Amino acid sequence: MQSSIDYGYPWWLSYGHLVVFFPALGAAALTYGKRRWLFILALTFTIWSAAAFCVMRFVINVNGEPELPTQAFLRSGTGRVLDLGAGTGRSAIMVLKARPQATLVASDQFGDSFDHHFGHTDTPQLPIANNLKAAGVDTRATIATADMRKLPFEPASFDAVVSAYAIDHLNRQGSIQALAEAHRVLKPNGDLLLMLVENDGWARFAFGPALSHGGTRGATWWRDRIRDSGFNLVEEGYKPLTLYLLAHKK
């Protein structure tokens, strides 16, 4: 078994602020008692970079094991789940750990967007396969290469669908198509859980607009598109860096 899980996110998301912290700390030390304005500036960058590092490493923690944002998702605890845009398996592991009686299909195009976020590999399914195995959930998961805008699955073939930080990579039309496909493959009364990047106070403090997805689309746009796609929106909320929306198929 692989010894540890590696989601493949770039190092700077967790440790990039240290590149600012150490030079700023050195500058503060060199200017202490000499040039007051340079010292204040260096000290400000030192404090900010240290605080931002703590936010990214311990509050947002993109390389950590996430928890379901709501226990109302797949409340029965059993069923077949589709993960749209599974990437290297973070959301798939989240669901399978929280719902130990469920099975899951982890789908992704494993194409240009995957390469952009996780780096190119000749065997793009290998990172997610390794992570599922390391998490001890591989026996309940299968991996499928699929475009979420045109899924190769039969209608009403899943009890729940999850998409975490993936559908908001698409443009507006692509997002609408993906929601329509999620509705098509869900069984009646099935759950849809969307987890979207929210450029909240934590993210703005650490990175400004650099982590923003989805252009100008906000919660209202997603609520309307979910309802237009034939879902009832039943819950929404916020976690660090995350807007989540839970809906049921009508």
Domain boundaries, the chain: 11-60, 78-249
| pLDDT band, very low/low/confident/very high, at 91 (cuts 50, 70, 90) | very high
Q: pLDDT of 199-225, one tens digit each?
A: 788 878 887 766 555 556 889 999 999
The residue type of 121 is: T
The label of the residue with tokens 């906000």 reads 218
pLDDT at 66: 86
- Euclidean distance between CA atoms 245 and 250, whole angstroms: 16
Residues 6+ apart with CB under 8 A from 119: 8
pLDDT at 61: 86
DSSP one-letter string for 6-36:
-----HHHHHTTHHHHHHHHHHHHHHTTT-H
Mean per-residue pLDDT, 154-168: 96
Q: pLDDT of 34-46, one tens digit each?
A: 889 999 999 999 9
The residue type of 92 is: A
Q: Is the pLDDT of residue 121 over 80?
A: no
pLDDT at 205: 87
Q: What is the pTM of this model?
A: 0.85
| pLDDT band, very low/low/confident/very high, at 57 (cuts 50, 70, 90) | confident
Mean per-residue pLDDT, 79-107: 97
Q: Is the pLDDT of residue 178 over 90?
A: yes
Under CATH, what is the fold of the domain 78-249? Answer: Rossmann fold (3.40.50)
Q: Is the pLDDT of residue 2 over 50?
A: no
pLDDT at 1: 41
In contact, 147 and 111? CB cutoff 8 Å: no
Q: Of the candidates 144, 150, 116, which has an alpha carbon nearest to the alpha carbon of residue 132?
A: 144
Q: Is the pLDDT of residue 233 over 70?
A: yes
Q: Is the pLDDT of residue 108 over 90?
A: yes
Q: Is the pLDDT of residue 239 over 70?
A: yes
Q: ∠143-144-146 over CA atoms, to 5°?
A: 150
More confident residue, 73 or 215: 73
